[in-house]
Amino acid sequence: MKQNFYGRSFLTLLDYTKEEIQELLSISAKLKAKKHAGLECLPLKGKNVVLLFEKDSTRTRCAFQVGANDLGMNVTYLGPTGSQMGKKESIKDTARVLGRMYDGIEYRGYKQETVEILAEYSGVPVWNGLTDKYHPTQILADFLTIIEKFGHLEGINFTYFGDARNNMGNSLMIGAAIMGMNFTACAPSDLWPNQELIDKCYELAQKSGAKLKFTEDVSEGAKGADVIYTDVWVSMGEPDSVWKERIEKLSPYQVNSDIMKKANETAIFMHCLPAFHNRETVIGEDIYKKFEMDALEVTEEVFESKKSVVFDEAENRLHTIKAVMYATLKEEK
């Protein structure tokens, strides 16, 4: 490895340089090729990692579990109930206990501060599997997918439709600004990322050459886009009471075939998943009954179209998460 990752945590992309992110993506691609060729070795055999989940997950949990197994590691899963964390024992104390037993800790939950405390006090690498503020491992998977489709990130026109100040909007903007990808947030202005983060990203963009744009105009957002990205309108941890207002605000930003037609002919559709694109879920059906919408942030037509690469992204969660664990736990001799 050219960069030094050993012993480091992965809490936000803001802690990583362009070269480091490039190398993590290149390790991911190599691990993916090896797995597809059936050439797995167990470079981290004998190590132990713990997965802390205060929120639900399919992709992130499975990617950490399978990735750790592929690398030869043992895994403990601790869900929202069943451990002492936060209820009878502080995060700081939990960190010091887990750091004595495990080589690495994954955390998914609410506050970014929690993952920072775990990293500060555990003494082992901590990986952010999603907080209310950031979702950095998802960005690596998304970027690997874009590279697979277009060959590069620099100069790609990327537009994010929807709640642009959630963990995905924030992290995609940071990643784009670091890597030199042009990022447009297309959303009502009160759902743009906060100004402090935007300012930080303008600074990063100056160095990388990325262009950042914020618009409420759907046509302007879609025009010339290589990637159209969206995420749920209500994130985990937000109260059900925000659905009505969010649907009213974001309905014009639903990714449908009109939006895809306005984008470049070769444009792809991306979504971190899970997505509300039909009524085949409990929440999807409930929303239909209340608001008569049979899809929310993306229509079934776009989701199921040839332009949609959402399951490539989902697979790439595994290879990129595996790369992060490998890079931060493998001591170079």
Give, as ranges, the residues between 247 and 276 that touch ligand CP (CB under 6 A). 272-273
- Concerning whether 319 is annotated as a catalytic residue, the answer is no
Contacted entry of ligand CP, ligand NVA, none for residue 166, CB cut-off 5 to 8 Å set by kind: ligand NVA
DSSP state of 252: G
Q: Are strands 126-128 and 48-53 parallel, antiparallel or unpaired?
A: unpaired
One of 12, 57, 128, 230 touching ligand CP (CB under 6 A)? 57
Task: Tell which one of 51, 98, 179, 232 touches ligand NVA (CB under 6 A).
Answer: 232
Comparing CA positions, the residue from 170, 164, 134 lying closest to residue 11 is 134
Q: Which does 225 bind (CB under 5 to 8 A by kind): ligand NVA, ligand CP, none?
A: none
Q: Shortest Cβ distance from residue 138 to ligand CP (Å)? A: 5
Q: Are 253 and 187 in contact (CB under 8 A)?
A: yes
Residue 158 backbone dihedrals phi, psi, to 5 degrees: -115, 125
Residues 6+ apart with CB under 8 A from 270: 142, 145, 146, 227, 228, 229, 230, 308, 309, 310, 313
Pick the stretch among 66-74, 220-228, 229-237, 242-250 that binds ligand NVA (CB under 6 A): 229-237
With contacts defined by CB under 6 A, name the span among 42-50, 103-111, 232-240, 263-271 that binds ligand NVA. 232-240
Identified catalytic residue from 8, 135, 246, 277:
135
Q: How far is the CB of 137 from ligand CP (least distance, A)?
A: 8
Give yes or no for residue 159 binding ligand CP (CB under 6 A): no
Residue 75 bridge partners (DSSP): 49
From the list 231, 263, 284, 309, which residue makes contact with ligand NVA (rule: CB under 6 A)?
A: 231
Question: What residues between 172 and 191 interact with ligand NVA by CB under 6 A?
Answer: none
Question: How many other C-beta atoms can be found within 10 angstroms of the C-beta atom of residue 195?
Answer: 8
Which entry of ligand CP, ligand NVA, none binds 308, CB below 5 to 8 A by partner kind?
none
Residue 281 as a binder of ligand CP (CB under 6 A): the answer is no
Q: Does 320 bind ligand NVA (CB under 6 A)?
A: no
Catalytic residue list contains 142: no
For 243, the token pair is: 């659905």
E strands of the chain, at which residues? 48-53, 74-78, 104-108, 126-128, 157-161, 182-186, 212-215, 227-230, 268-271
Q: Strand runs (DSSP E) across 169-303, as ranges? A: 182-186, 212-215, 227-230, 268-271
From 3-11, 52-60, 153-161, 302-310, span contacting ligand CP (CB under 6 A): 52-60
In the window 118-137, what residues touch ligand NVA (CB under 6 A)? 130, 135
Cis peptide before 274 (omega within 30 of 0): yes
Is residue 62 part of the annotated active site? The answer reads: no
Report d(CA 312, CA 108) in Å as an integer.
22
| Distance (Å, whole) CA 255 – CA 191 | 16
Q: Is 186 labeled as catalytic in the residue annotation? A: no
Q: Site residues (CB under 6 A) for ligand NVA?
A: 130, 135, 166-168, 231-232, 235-236, 272
Q: Site residues (CB under 6 A) for ligand CP?
A: 57-60, 130, 138, 272-273
- Looking at the annotation, which residues are catalytic? 108, 135, 138, 231, 272, 317
